[in-house]
Chains A and B, each alone.
Chain A
Amino acid sequence: MTHEDDFDAFVMARTSALARTAYLLTGDAHLAEDLVQTALFRAAKAWSRIEGDPEPYVRRILYTQNVSWWRRRRLSEVRLGSYDAPAVPSDPDLRLSLESALALLTVRQRTVLVLRYFEDLTEVQTAHALGISPGTVKSTTRNALARLRTLAPELGDLVGGAS
C-alpha cells in the first residue's frame, strides 16, 4: 500500500468527522469546507513524515489553521453574527441560542470548548493539541463557560452541567 493509498483511505474514513469539528470551530459551512481541505492538503504534503495515526496531526492543523485564519480575518472582516440557518432540530430555541452564543466567543474559547466538550479531550490532551499549557486550557474553558452564561442565561443548566 502506497502513501497515496493511505491518504485516500484516511480521506474516505475521516473527512466527515473532520468536517463536523471544522463546522463547530468556524460556525460557517464554507469556512469549514476550506479548513478541512487546507488541513488535508498540508497533511498530504507531509504525509511521508507522519508516523502512526495521522488523525492527531490533521486535527492539530485544523485547530491551529483556524486560529491563524481568524487572526488574519479579524481586522478585515466583520465577525459572523450567527451560524448557518438551522435545519430542523429537536429543540430549535435552545440550539439557536447556543449557536449564537458560540459565535460571540473568541476563537480560542470556541476551540477549547469544542475540543473539551465535543471531542471529549482532557485538559492535558487539549493543551497538547493546541500547543498551550493545561492551565491556559483550564482558565480559557472557565472564561468561555462564564461568557456563555452571561450571553445566554437560558443555557444555564447546560453550561452549569459542563462546569
Chain B
Amino acid sequence: MSIHDELERIAARAPEVVVPADMWARARRARRRDRLGVVAAVVAVLAVAGTLAWLPTRDGLEPVDGRTLGVPNRLWAVPERMSDRENDDSWMRDEVSSQLDVGTAAAAWTTPGGLPVVVGAADGAYHLLDLPDFGGNNFLLNYGLGGSPVALSPDGLRLAYAYAHFGPDAATEPIPSGVRVLDLEEGSVTDHPILGAEGTAVGTLTWSSDGRWLGWTGERYTSWTESSTGSASPFAGRIDLTTGSVDQMRIGEPSAMTVAIAADGVLSIVGNDRMVRWDGERREARRLRGFWSGRGVVTADGSIAAGIDSELAVQLLDRRLKVSTIDASGELNPVAGGTATVLGITADRLVVRTSTLDSSDGALLLLERDGISATVAAVDADVPDTLTLATDLMTTERPTVDRPEPDWPTDWGRVLTIGGWILVGAAALALLAWTVLLRTRRSPYSSPGARRPVP
C-alpha cells in the first residue's frame, strides 16, 4: 500500500458538496459590485490627486489685480533656516540671490540672522537678497552691534541699507561705510558714504514721506575691523537723494530715541529728555519729558508720531512740543504688553503695526487721529520689528491686496531628523511589545496544559 492509496481511501469519505443553483448569478452580481468598487476607488484617487494638484495651484493663483501693486494682506515670516551661513559668513541657501532687480516692493525687513527680505508688490513673492557689503553680512555687526537696517522707500522703488566694506585692508585702514540705495527696478546701487574716523555703522534708517530724504543714526568708531571695534560716538544725519549730499552731526547718548525726517529735510531726534531739530545748519534743542523710542514719522502738520513701547498706543508730538496720545480702538484686540510701531502714513491715517508679547499674529492698522482703527493685514509674530512698508501703495479704499503664501523649500534635514526619531521610537515600542509577548508566552499560566500552582 502506498501513501497515495491511503489518501484515496481517506478522500473517499469527502462530503457531497451541494453547489447552489444561483451561484453563477451571485458571482456575476459580485463581479459587478467589484467593478463598481474599482470605479469608485479610481474616482476617489483621481479626486484626491486632483485636489492635491489643485491646492498648490490655488496658493499660486495670480491675484485678480495681478498688475496692481499692493501691500499683501498677510506678511509671512521667513523660516530662520533660510538665514543659515557658511563658515565665511556668506549665505548658505541657494534661495538667497544677488540678483537685485526684483521690481517694486511692498515690504522689506531683515531676519534676526541678518538676511534682507523684500516682498514683491506685484506678486507677493519673497526675495532673499545678498546685498553687496550689507552691514548685516558681517557677523559682528549683526549679532554684536544691534544689527544693520534696511528701509523701503514709501513708493517701494528703492531700498536703503547700511553698508560696510571689509576689504583686504580692513585691519589697518578705515572701513568704507555709510548708506547705499538700491534701485529695485534696475538693480543698481548708489553709495552715500559717511566719512569720518574709522567708519560709521548705521543703525537706524528712515525715509521722508516724499522719498527725497533719508535720516539716519549710527555709531562712529575710533577703530574698526571685521571682528572688533574700539570706542564709539553716536552720530545722526540726513541724505538728500536728489543731490547725494550727506550731512551729519554728533548727538547725545542714543540710549532710546525716535528719529524722523520731514519732507523739508528737517531731521528730528526725540529722546533723552529733549528734542533736537536740525535742518543741516541750524540745530534746535528743547527739553522734553517722556520716553520715546522706535521709529517715527512726520505727519502733514509737522507732528512726530511714534509708537509707545509696551502699549498699544501712538503718541504725537506737535510743533509746540505738546504730547498727545492716540489709544487705538475699533477692531484692535488689545493684548497686555503689546507694542505699536508707526511705519508710515497713507492719506491722513497712520500705518501702525501691532505686536503681541505671545506668539499670536500682529496686525497692520490704519489709525485715525480720533483713535478709530481698521485692521487691514495680519503680520506673523515672527516678522521682526525691522519691518518697513511701501505705504504709498496703501489707499483707504484698497489698503492691502490678496497675495499667495510663500512656498519655502522643504527642510529635508529636519524631516530626516524627525523621521529618524520616529523610526527609533517605533523600533523601541516594537522591541518592548516583543519582549512583553515573549514573557507572556513563557509564562507557565499562558500554556493551556499548564497547571496552576495550588496556593
Contacts and interface: CB of A to CB of B under 8 A. Distances in A.
Interface of A: 4, 7-8, 11, 15-16, 18-24, 29-30, 32-33, 36-37, 40-42, 44-47, 83-84, 86-87, 89-91, 94-95, 98-99, 102, 113-114, 117-118, 120, 158-159, 161-162
Contacts of B52: none
Contact of B34 (A8, A30, A45): A45
Given A113-B3, A158-B1, 20 more contacts: A11-B19, A16-B14, A18-B17, A19-B15, A19-B17, A20-B12, A21-B11, A22-B14, A23-B10, A23-B15, A45-B34, A46-B31, A83-B10, A86-B13, A87-B12, A91-B1, A94-B1, A95-B6, A95-B10, A158-B2
Contact of A20 (B4, B14, B24, B26): B14
Contact of A32 (B6, B14, B34): B14
A95 B11 contact: no
Interface in B205-241: none
Contacts, number: 104
Interface string B313-328: 0000000000000000
A26 to B, nearest CB: 10
Contact of B15 (A11, A29, A47, A120): A29
16 contacts: A8-B24, A15-B19, A23-B15, A32-B14, A32-B15, A37-B19, A41-B30, A45-B27, A45-B28, A45-B30, A102-B10, A113-B3, A114-B7, A158-B1, A158-B2, A162-B2
A88 B26 CA distance: 38
A117 to B, nearest CB: 5
A37 B17 contact: yes
A119 B9 CA distance: 13
B23 A117 contact: no
A29 B14 contact: yes
Nearest to B26: A41
B10 A41 contact: no
Nearest to B2: A161
Nearest to B21: A8
B9 A89 contact: yes
A51 B137 CA distance: 74
B284 interface: no
B88 interface: no
A47 B6 CA distance: 34
A83 to B, nearest CB: 7
Contact of A159 (B3, B9, B34): B3
